[in-house]
Structure 1
Amino acid sequence: MGRQLAMGGAALGAVTVLGVPLGLLWWMIAPRAEVTATGSGTTLPYPVSETLFAAEGYFAIMTLVAGLVCGYVGYVVQYRFAAWLRADLRLATLLGLAVGAVAASLIAWGIGVALDAGDYERALAAAERGDVISSGLQLRSHSALLLWPFVAVLQFGLFDAVSIWRHDLPHLRTDASEHGSAPAEWPR
């Protein structure tokens, strides 16, 4: 039980920390839409352009790629440790990946929005009615926060399914497979 907790905690921590650089990257590369100040401290989404949705698209693509990478790396690392420790670490790693990816998505979103908030508020306060200013980063489509955990779990699950299909689970291997000679029923 201690090995599973350690592996799950390591997966959770490693993935959660990735939210910080992803949030910084989103803040640096995402385009900002232009909006029109109303003069009362609010804005109108005018002129309307695809830039209004582009920042959300950047966030979605970045978290999707992060999910693919985390799912793959998480499975490979778990596989190696499971073979070495002779323990089934799959569920603990999967739970750590899922919870860590949710936390990392929230952290990335928070960092990106927070870094833009000050400049946007200053520009809005200084704007006259009808002035066009650059808006801050926003994520109106909160479903994008679930892409990272969904894709990480899916990627991990696909690799696990292949291992199950091949009868290649590391914690079930015999000593013969450690020395390079797999049993006859295992495909190479």
Structure 2
Amino acid sequence: MTREVRAFAITVLSLAALGIPAGLLWSALSPRPPYRLVEETPALADPSTQALIAADGWFATITGALGLVCGTLAWFLSRRVQLPVLAGLFLGGVAGAFVTLWAGTSFTVGVVAVEASGVPGITFVAGPLALTAKGVLVSWPLLAVGVFGFLEGMHGYRESPLRRPHPPA
């Protein structure tokens, strides 16, 4: 029982800790939408900007890649305690995604470029990094559990006695 609890806890804590560098990477790679300040009130400068969608795409790419790597690594390292590690992949992936969201929105990493205004009295500033499509939060746990299950299914099929039900003649 102790081995299972330890494997679960290590998996959850490791994936949650990976959320901090993932969030910093997301903050460094994602563009910020430009906002204009008119009489101290911020407003989105370009409503058709692709920066909001790009931030969601970078989040899904980074957390999805981590999900694939974590699921593959967990399958290779957890030959004896697979169920606790699988549960840890799910819960740790959820925690890692939320830690990534927190770290990415809390810290600004990289260069934030904003175009200058040609109109006097209007100032452009870089907007905050935000996640507009909340559905991308599931990419880390979904891909981690999915690749783990895929590898286990392929291994189980290859080792199955039902694959060759009759001995060779």
TM-score interval w.r.t. the shorter chain?
Answer: 0.7 to 0.9
More helix as a share of residues? 1
8 A contact 1:94–1:156 mirrored in 2: yes
8 A contact 1:12–1:100 mirrored in 2: yes
Query: Does 1:109 pair with 2:98?
Result: no
**Letter aligned with residue 148 of structure 2:** F
In the TM superposition, what is the alpha-carbon distance from 1:45 to its structure 2 partner? Answer: 4.6
Q: Normalised by the size of structure 2, how large is the TM-score?
A: 0.81
Query: Does 1:28 pair with 2:2?
Result: no
Aligned length: 151
Distance in 1, Cα, partners of 2:138 & 2:121: 37
8 A contact 2:52–2:130 mirrored in 1: no
8 A contact 2:52–2:131 mirrored in 1: no
In the TM superposition, what is the alpha-carbon distance from 1:164 to its structure 2 partner? Answer: 1.5
Q: Normalised by the size of structure 1, how large is the TM-score?
A: 0.73
8 A contact 1:38–1:44 mirrored in 2: no
What 5-or-longer segments of structure 1 have no aligned partner? Answer: 83-88, 121-127, 169-184
8 A contact 1:36–1:47 mirrored in 2: no
CA RMSD across the alignment = 2.1
What 5-or-longer segments of structure 2 have no aligned partner? Answer: 113-119, 161-165
Distance in 2, Cα, partners of 1:156 & 1:129: 56
In the TM superposition, what is the alpha-carbon distance from 1:41 to its structure 2 partner? Answer: 3.2
Match of 2:92 in 1: 100
In the TM superposition, what is the alpha-carbon distance from 1:99 to its structure 2 partner? Answer: 0.5
Match of 2:55 in 1: 55
Distance in 2, Cα, partners of 1:129 & 1:12: 50
SS at match of 1:161: helix
- Residues 142-165 of structure 1: CA distance to partner in whole angstroms, max 9, x if unpaired? 111111000000010101111211
In the TM superposition, what is the alpha-carbon distance from 1:111 to its structure 2 partner? Answer: 0.8
Q: Are the structure 2 counterparts of residues 34 and 13 from structure 1 closer, same or farther at C-alpha, using a change threshold of 3 Å?
A: same
Match of 1:2 in 2: 2
Identity, % of aligned positions: 28
**Letter aligned with residue 165 of structure 1:** Y
Match of 1:143 in 2: 135
- Residues 88-127 of structure 1: CA distance to partner in whole angstroms, max 9, x if unpaired? x1110000111011111101110111114xxx9xxxxxxx
- Residues 57-85 of structure 1: CA distance to partner in whole angstroms, max 9, x if unpaired? 11110011000000000111102xx2xxx
Q: Are the structure 2 counterparts of residues 153 and 90 from structure 1 closer, same or farther at C-alpha, using a change threshold of 3 Å?
A: same
Distance in 2, Cα, partners of 1:152 & 1:135: 32
